Structure 1
């Protein structure tokens, strides 16, 4: 059971990442050594003796029991299933896929942010200020939906190629349900071994590819004046903007968690909101960042509900 635990070096000195069953924890040399010894089917007493001898200090059985029973077994052997993403279709990815050098160069740090910022601004300008009233035909919408699905696949490969650039392996891509929304996803567990700066680049890379595609769609529309390109552009930008929304657990959320140094912002927000309705409030124990995020999140979803109800009333009356 312990043999399936993956051990990864991280960008942080003397810190390791341990992954199993879509769960992960950080730890130091002691946890790494315990897992390695467990993989060799050593007993707790044997592990205690070996580590005491290795580190020339008294490591008692209580410490070993605490690490194995509380950290390893609870997280890895009895994992909690994710409630937000239900995986429906999964595809394994080959780790030895080779990408062309010029594709990988798109993720060079300074060039990445320059091109991402430039293309995002051009996309936004065209979306908000270049207004054309068009009634799209059914054929255009149908073909447009197929092209949008292709763009979503390219979005996921943006994450995959960026992870490859940063020497990280993405082993799985698939289709799932996030809450009630069908989504494509890639398993990015291994990026937690990287520094915060690298994780942000990888999490933005899908949107980055969509921004590049948006520029191509604008060029094709201005060149050929085909409404199909305009339809796909609008759909692509809407999805791009949705991915940046920090109140859903999409790309923008993970970027924000890194920027704020909050690894589980959503869970902290839920705990804070629950604490407001408890008899003995513990809301004072949460950081200002979590409190502000929580109130903005509630306001956002309240706006969505009001807007949704208003639209229904308008259609009925």
Structure 2
């Protein structure tokens, strides 16, 4: 065997498969590469694999060309037993920074046991419909209490657990489908603190299983909101109703497909497009290149883009528009604060050095402005790179 042992291959769509290298790394490969992996896994030597390859693909390539092909398609992924290609970086959770493990796989799976029965497909879709109707009825039939009627500490005690409940929903769905979920951790998305679940093995599931697993977090939050509403109906405690409605509103935001929330992963599954954001940026960059525009002006450009490329372009364009919309809104709302931001940061640094920093110095506006600067700088850098290619 010329490739690593225990490799697994599962169909992904009509033209490609998912190759599981280990529990933390998966590779999307086309039919030809899938056949190449099978040939290498059954051959006893590279020479034998070369002979079978030429017979299978009706080719007459040389031994050196075959070596180069194997290195090009599979090198650097730790698939080949004697891999001379430098290891290629993994994109797994690359958008999360300063990751800290909190719960290992065994504990996370144990805590998710009460949720696992809900992820049988028929039960899941029926429950989703029933819970949505119930929460709509609560929102329409009951007037939301004022924040002044609610004890803030009690409200936070009810809302903050949704972060863990959300991740347990993902773990429960993967466990139900025997996709070997990992643990739960804490990290930063941009500058926002978030929790995450290690569910990389989701790629080994069917399309429906991937969709349900990616909706698992939202499902668990909605279930928690329903439980809080039921507690309100029994106890008439306004904090339970306020928490339930607050969680429901946040769930709607989580369907936003332009940031890496559950809506993004759902869209990725529905379109069978891993690394959706990266691929859409590549297509958008290709379209906006000066060479492309120059050809278009000369009427030399032929419309031969595939349907997938057009969808990726549309998503990339809308994603860029969304970022510009957020930047524009922040600029209009916080003009003075944006100008004063460097000075505000300087004051905070001075107070920290003097051990004189108070909690009121770290107001929410600073986070908004910091996000504005991060988004603006990243957007300008990405656009500059696109123009220089």
TM range (shorter): 0.7 to 0.9
1:92 corresponds in structure 2 to: 104
- Preserved contact between residue 111 and residue 168 of structure 2 (Cα < 8 Å): no
Contact 2:112–2:168 under 8 Å retained in 1: no
Q: Which residue of 2 aligns with 1:62?
A: 65
**Counterpart check, 1:182 vs 2:185:** no
Assess, with a 3 A threshold, how the Cα gap between structure 1 residues 302 and 55 changes in structure 2: closer, same or farther.
Answer: closer
Pairing 1:79–2:101 present: no
Q: Check 1:235–1:102 CA distance in 2 against 1; reply closer, same or farther (3 A cut).
A: closer
In structure 1, distance between residues paired with 2:190 and 2:262: 15
Partner of 2:250: 239
Q: Partner residue of 1:8?
A: 8
Under a length normalisation based on structure 1, what TM-score does the superposition of the two structures give?
A: 0.79
Q: How far, CA to CA, are the matches of 1:301 and 1:123 in structure 2?
A: 31
User: Do 1:269 and 1:293's aligned partners in 2 also have CA atoms closer than 8 Å?
Assistant: yes
TM-score (norm 2): 0.66
Q: 1:277-303 CA distances to partner (integer Å, 9 max, x unpaired)?
A: 421128964722123223332333333
Task: Summarize the Cα distance change of 1:264–1:121 in structure 2 as closer, same or farther, 3 Å threshold.
Answer: farther
State the distance in 2 between where 1:315 and 1:52 align. Answer: 65
| Greater C-alpha Rg | 2
Find out whether 1:24 has 2:26 as its counterpart.
yes
**3-state SS of 1:18 partner:** strand
SS of aligned partner of 1:183: strand
Look up the match of 2:128: 116
Q: Pairwise CA RMSD of aligned residues?
A: 3.8
Range 94-103 or range 196-205, more displaced? 94-103
Alpha-carbon distance in 1 for matches of 2:67, 2:115: 47
Unaligned runs of 5+ in 2: 80-86, 297-302, 339-389
In the superposition, relative to structure 1, how do residues 19 and 87 fare at CA in structure 2: closer, same or farther (>3 Å)? Answer: farther
Farther-moved stretch of structure 1 (211-220 vs 116-125): 116-125
Structure 1 alignment gaps of length 5 or more = 38-45
Aligned to 1:297: 319
Partner of 1:216: 227
Alignment-derived partner of residue 51 in structure 1: 49
Q: What is aligned with 1:144?
A: 155
Q: Report the number of matched residues.
A: 306
Determine which of 158, 168, 176 is the counterpart of 2:179: 168
Query: 1:262, 1:16 → 2: CA distance?
Result: 12
CA distance in 1, matches of 2:197, 2:114: 23
CA, structure 1 residues 74+125, in 2 after alignment: closer, same or farther (shift >3 Å)? same
CA contact (8 A) 1:156 1:206 kept: yes
Q: CA deviation at 1:239?
A: 2.9
* Contact 2:109/2:172, CA 8 A, preserved across alignment: no
Distance 2:109 2:77 in 1: 35
